[in-house]
Chains A and B, each alone.
Chain A
Amino acid sequence: MKDFEPKIVCFLCKWCTYSGADLAGTSRMKYPPNGVVIKTLCSSRVDPQHILLAFSKGCDGVFIGGCHPGDCHYQSGNYKTKRRIILLKKVLEQLGLNTNRLRLEWISASEGKKFANTMKEFTDQIKKLGPIPKINCE
C-alpha cells in the first residue's frame, strides 16, 4: 500500500483552471504527478458518464476544475457542473464508492498556488483511500 500511486483524471476548463495549472508551472511550484489533464473548454462539458467510465476503468480519483461562481466564461457552465456533481455523488454512494474520490474545485487563472495545493491534497486523500474497488457501471 505504501507504494500505491493513484491514477487521477483531471478535467480542467481552458479559461480558468487549465491556465491556473499553467501558472503553477511558470511559477515552478511542485506537486505530485498523479493527475493527468484532459482539457475541456468548460467544466460543463464533463458528462457524468465520463466520470463513471474513469472509475470503472480503474482511475482512483477524478478531479474537475472550473471558474469561480460568476466568472464562467460561458456565463453559467460552472453552475451546471456543480449541480451535476452533487447528483453524481449520490449515484457514487449507491455504487458503494467513497464520494471523496470525486472533487470539484473552482480555481482561477491567477490561482496557480491553489492548483498546486489542491493537487497535493487530493493526491494525499486518494492515497489514504487506497486503490479503487472494482465496480461495473457501464
Chain B
Amino acid sequence: MKKIGVFICHCGINIKGAVDVERLTEELADYPGVAYIENYMFMCSDPGQNHIQDAIRENKLGGVVVAACSPTLHESTFQAVLKESGLNEYQMEIANIREQCSWVHTNIEQATHKARLIIKTAIEKLKLNESLYPVSAPVTKKALVIGGGIAGIQAALDIADAGFEVIMVEKKPSIGGHMIQLSETFPTLDCSQCILTPKMVALNKHKNIKLYVNSEVESIDGYIGNFNVKIKRKALYVDPHKCNLCDDCTEVCPVLVPNEQEEGLSWRKAIYIPFPQAIPATYTLDLENCLGLEPIACGKCREKCTAEAINYDATDMIIEEEVGAVIIATGFDLYPVENIPEYGYGKYPDVITSLQFERILSATGPTGGEIYRPSDGKVPKEIVFVQCSGSRDPEHHLSYCSKICCMYTLKHAKLYKHKIHNGQPYIFYIDIRAGGKRYEEFVQQAVSEEGILYIRGKVAKIYKEGDKMIVMGMDTLSGKKIEVKADLVVLAMGIVPSEGSHDLVKTLKINTDDKGFLSEAHPKLRPVESLQAGFYLAGTSQGPRDIPDSVSQASGAASKALILLSSDKIYHSPIIAYVDEDLCSGCTICVGTCPYGARELNEVSKVVEVNEILCEGCGACISACPSGAAQQKNLTDDQIDNMIKIIASGK
C-alpha cells in the first residue's frame, strides 16, 4: 500500500486557534496508510516545503496530504513540492481545514473533530489516486480582445507589439470607448482625445491587428489555447474602402436621432460618422432608424454617393476565428439616472449627467467646449455637482464606491472655473477619496486656490423654481438643511458593468461578482485572470477604476496572455473521464450527456471513447453511466464511496 505522509499546517494561529493540531497529529499517526505525520507553523513557507521534501525522501512516501488552506490558494504550490521530490503531483491532496473549518467554527472540540474527518477523507481519496500526466495540446498564437476602449486598445497594442496576431471586436461603429468622450483627464488636465487618438490610429494601422467594429462575439467554444470564436458583424452598408468621408450622405439624410456619442445633447443622421476622429474612419448606416433599405422608401444617400460606397444589399456576417487567449475589456455604463427620480433628470433639461458635462466641456462637443446650459443656452453662473449619485447607497442604489467620481467631479469644477471665472461651483460630497498619484495635491490646490465650495452631505431632492434649479440637501457638518440655487446641476453618476457584458458573460460562462463585474481568479494575487482558463480581464469590466489603472491592468492582462501565447503547448488537467472497456456496453447514454462532444462510440469495438483534449472533466457522463464503465480519473466512484463512508462513520 502507498505510504502516506500527513502535514498539518497551523497557518500561524489561523488554524491552530480553532483546531487542536497536536491532538490530530497524535491520533492520526495510527490511521491505516499513514506512514508519517507532522504539524508545522507555515507549511507553505520555504522551511515548511523543505519539511515535506525531507519527509518524502526519508520515509519513501508515495503520497502526501497537506491539511491547510483552500486548494484554490496553494494546491499548485504543494504540487510543485511533490514534483521537485520526484513524486507525481497528483499524489497530493489538500484537506481544506482553514476556510471550511477553523475560520467558520469556534468550538475547538467540534472544529477538531471536523478537521479529523476532512483529513481522513483526503487520506482515503489519496489512497486510490493514480499518477497522472497533463494532457497536452498546441496553442493557437493569436489573441481576441473584446471591447475597444482604452483598456482593450492597450492590451491589443501590447500583444501585437510582442509579435502576435490580435483580433479586436468592438460593438460600436468606432473604437475609443468612453475615454474618447472625455474632455480633459485628471490630475494632469491633459486632453483625453489628444492622448487616445494616436493609440487608436496605431491600432488601426498595426499589421498584427485585425479590427471588427459593429461586431459582437456570438460564441466561444474550445478551451485555453484553442478557442473557436464566432463573431457576428453587422451588415456593412457603407464600404469603408470606397467611402471618402465627403459627408454628402448625411446632408441628404432626412432622419434625425439623438447622438449617442454626444450623450443625446445633439442630433445625428441615420447615416453618420460617430465623431470626426472615428476609427475606422468611415460612415455607418444605422439600420434601426434608416427610413428603409428599399430605395422606394428613401434611398437618398445612395443616389448622392459619388464614390458608390453605399450598398443596401449588404447582410450580417458570421466570421470565425481561431484564438489561443481572450481578453475581456467590455467597460462600463453609467448607473441608470432614471433610477433616481427625485433628482429630476429627464424632467428638467438643466439636470445632466457627468458624461453629458464631459461633452459640454469638450472642444469637439456640441457647444465646442463653451459652457451653456441645455434649456436656454444661458451661461451657468452657479453650478452644483452631486457626487455619489447612485453610489454608496446600499438601501436604494449601488452599495459600492464608483471610485472615479470624486476626481472627475473636481476636474469638472476646475474646468468650469477656468472657463467661467466669476462662476461659483458647489460640490455635494460624502467623503473625498483621492487615493492616487498626485490626486490629493489636485484636491488641495482646487480647494485653496480655485474657490470651489464643498458641502458635506447628500442631496435629497432637485426641483425647479423660476429659471433656477433648487438643490435641497443636508449639510452633515452643521446638521442643517441646505438649499442651493443653481443654473445647472451635474450628477456624478456611479458606474455599472456595460450593458452588453451581461449577455457576454452568460455566453462565455465567465464568473462575475454580485454586482455583475467580472471576477478575478484571486482578488490580490491573480487580479487580471479569470477563473476560466485562457480568459483575462482588463479595465472597468472588472470593477470601477480610472484611466491609469485601466491601462496598467490592460498591460498586465496582455502580459499574462503573452505567457500563454509564447508557449508551444498548453497542458490540460488530466482529471477527466475515462471508460472501462470491459464494462462498457456501448449504450451511448453518456454521449448525449457530454456538453463538449468529447464522447464517441467506436463503431468497431462498440465501446465509447473519450477525447482527452475536449473532455473538461465535469463528470456528468459518469453519473449517467448505468454500468459503472464511465469513471473520472482520481475521483472514481470508489474514491467518493470511501469518503462517504468516513463521513457516515462520524469518526
Contact = CB atoms under 8 A, between A and B. Distances in A.
Interface of A: 7-9, 15, 19, 21-22, 24-26, 28-33, 36-42, 44-50, 53-54, 57-59, 70-77, 80, 84, 108-111, 116
A74 B104 CA distance: 29
B104 A28 contact: yes
B247 interface: no
A26 B523 CA distance: 12
Nearest to A28: B103
A74 B121 contact: no
A59 B648 contact: yes
Lowest 5 A-B CB distances belong to which pairs? A45-B619, A25-B99, A57-B648, A74-B618, A47-B623
A15 to B, nearest CB: 7
B200 interface: no
Contacts of B99: 21-22, 24-26
A80 B620 CA distance: 8
Contacts of B637: 47, 49-50
A36 B114 contact: yes
A22 B70 CA distance: 7
Q: Which of A36, A37, A40, A75 has the most CB of B within 10 A?
A: A36
B228 interface: no
Q: Which of B593, B595, B632, B637 has the most CB of A within 10 A?
A: B595
B117 interface: yes
A33 B619 contact: no
A105 to B, nearest CB: 16
Interface string B517-534: 001000000000001100
A38 B640 contact: yes
B623 A45 contact: yes
A48 B595 contact: no
B241 interface: no
18 contacts: A8-B647, A15-B511, A25-B103, A33-B107, A44-B593, A45-B620, A47-B623, A47-B640, A50-B640, A53-B644, A57-B648, A57-B649, A58-B649, A71-B506, A72-B509, A73-B509, A76-B595, A80-B593
Contacts of B103: 25-26, 28
Interface in B97-154: 98-101, 103-107, 110-111, 113-114, 117-118, 121
A54 B647 contact: yes
Nearest to B506: A70
Q: Which of A15, A28, A45, A116 has the most CB of B within 10 A?
A: A45
B644 A37 contact: no
B644 A54 contact: yes
Q: Which of A31, A41, A57, A111 has the most CB of B within 10 A?
A: A41
A24 B519 CA distance: 17
B129 to A, nearest CB: 14
Contact of B117 (A31, A36, A44, A48): A36
A37 B519 contact: no
Contacts of A21: 99-100
Contacts of A9: 644, 647-648
Contacts of A74: 595, 616, 618, 620
Contact of B643 (A38, A42, A72): A38
A71 B593 contact: no
B575 interface: yes
Contact of A25 (B100, B512, B532, B619): B100
A42 B106 contact: no
A44 B643 contact: no
B121 A38 contact: yes
Given A9-B644, A15-B511, A59-B644, A40 B519 contact: no
A13 B430 CA distance: 41
A77 B100 contact: no
B650 interface: yes
Nearest to A38: B643
Nearest to A55: B648
Contacts of A24: 99, 104
Contacts of A15: 511, 531
B645 interface: yes
Nearest to B94: A39
Contacts of B71: 39
Given A54-B647, A58-B649, A77 B618 contact: yes
A38 B514 CA distance: 25
A54 B641 CA distance: 8
Contacts of B273: none
B113 A33 contact: yes
Given A29-B104, A30-B104, A36 B618 contact: no
